[in-house]
Amino acid sequence: MTTRRDAAGAGVPGRARGERPLRAVLVTGAASGIGRAVTELLAERGVGVVAVDRDEDGLASLAGLGGVLPHVGDVTAEETGRAAVALAVEEYGLLDGAVLNAGIGGTRPFEAPGAVEAAERIFSVNVRGPALGIRAVVPALRSAGGGAIVVTASVAGIRADPGGWAYNASKAAVINLVRAAALDYAADGIRVNALAPGLTRTRITAGGDRSPALRAAVERNIPLRRFAEPREQAEAVWFLLSPAASYVTGATLVVDGGLDANLGLLPLPEPH
């Protein structure tokens, strides 16, 4: 039976911590798409953000948002995370959350020239990037008494796409990176979860919704029959960062309009 003392989290490692709303969050890939929507949503809701991206112009266009500090840097460099965390602590007094979201596509077919070099670049941004991010933010989160980390994976890390091997493998790696980090830091009151977006209307998918073949595939395979808007992904990130998710760690939250639920062998029902 839950006692009042248990419910308050007393004596349970990592329980009470992380249950208060976050105050300052580092977001990578903040200049565009999902990361930008997360940055805007956090700023609107009064959370301080250190917005990290290698795209200086994109970051500059966030300047009008109150409570957002831009930091230009590449997530594959260890120094980027260190400097961004220092900026957060200097300006906000602490850092208690991180959204490690920067990612790239660009897989080339297995036997194509340059395929291995392209895969190394994808792994560097999509896997090394979040691993460095976790290393950089954990000491600050621990000093803050706990916190939450969300890493952007993909449904492409759960299922595969023809020709998508390097991206598919990198996003599968993110899902297990998150599980491992969740185990390592639960006792510090740090929750670590993955977001697995489906097709979302961003630069990565730009023009895709104008392709008749992709439109047909969306109609055939995605039960909600449309792309997600970046804001819909941001709301899921908000949940994972928030005290409402206080018992969620090591999880992958799939936000894909039902794509992953569908075996895809039979036609979806028409509206009644």
Ligand X SMILES: NC(=O)c1ccc[n+]([C@@H]2O[C@H](COP(=O)([O-])OP(=O)(O)OC[C@H]3O[C@@H](n4cnc5c(N)ncnc54)[C@H](O)[C@@H]3O)[C@@H](O)[C@H]2O)c1
Cα dihedral value 63, 80, 199, 212, nearest 10: 80
H/E element, 25: strand 24-28
Please say which residue, 58 or 70, places its beta carbon nearer to ligand X: 58
Residue 247 appears among annotated catalytic residues: no
How do strand 147-152 and strand 190-197 relate by DSSP bridges? parallel
User: Looking at this protein, which amino acid is placed at residue 69?
Assistant: L
User: Looking at this protein, which amino acid is placed at residue 83?
Assistant: A
Please say which residue, 16 or 217, places its beta carbon nearer to ligand X: 217
Instruction: Please say whether the beta carbons of 85 and 137 come within 8 A.
Output: yes
Q: How far apart are CB 259 and ligand X at their closest, in Å?
A: 10
Catalytic residue among 92, 167, 185, 247: 167
- The CA distance from 255 to 199, in Å, is 9
Q: How far apart are CB 191 and ligand X at their closest, in Å?
A: 19
Residue with token string 């109150």: 66
For binding to ligand X (CB under 6 A), which residues are involved? 28-29, 31-35, 53-55, 58, 74-76, 101-104, 125, 152, 154, 197, 199-200, 202-205
Q: How far apart are CB 142 and ligand X at their closest, in Å?
A: 24
Q: How far apart are CB 55 and ligand X at their closest, in Å?
A: 4
Please say which residue, 200 or 246, places its beta carbon nearer to ligand X: 200
- The CA distance from 17 to 127, in Å, is 27
Q: Which two structure tokens, joined as six digits, stand for 41? A: 């949503």
Catalytic residue numbers read: 167
